[in-house]
Amino acid sequence: MSRLRASIVGASGYAGGELLRLLLGHPHVEVAQVTSESHVGKYVYSVHPNLRGRTTLAFSLAADVRECDVLFLALPHGEAMQRIDHWCRLA
């Protein structure tokens, strides 16, 4: 069985970090990309120290998200709807 490629937009917040922690432990998911507008280029573990040693992913811009199988939006209330058409085309 191939693994699902998942991306998380807004992964630097609490909800995004917990989602990332869960997905990293899932045997059928590959986390392809995580975004944060305020932490671009930083390693995930610099924001979520509990993930040190579990991933070498670095944050990118939400505008740079590539196509994936599953796209999670962990954004503040109302922000996801502002670009919902864009997000739907990616996953």
Token pair recorded at residue 76:
């503040």
pLDDT tens per residue across span 54-90? 999 999 999 999 999 999 999 988 888 888 888 888 8
Q: What is the mean pLDDT of residues 29-51?
A: 97
Domains and CATH numbers, the chain: 4-90 (3.40.50.720)
SS (H, E, C) the chain: CCCEEEEEECCCCHHHHHHHHHHHCCCCEEEEEEECCCCCCCEHHHHCHHHCCCCCCEEECHHHCCCCCEEEECCCCCHHHHCHHHHHHHC
Q: Is the pTM of this model over 0.85?
A: yes
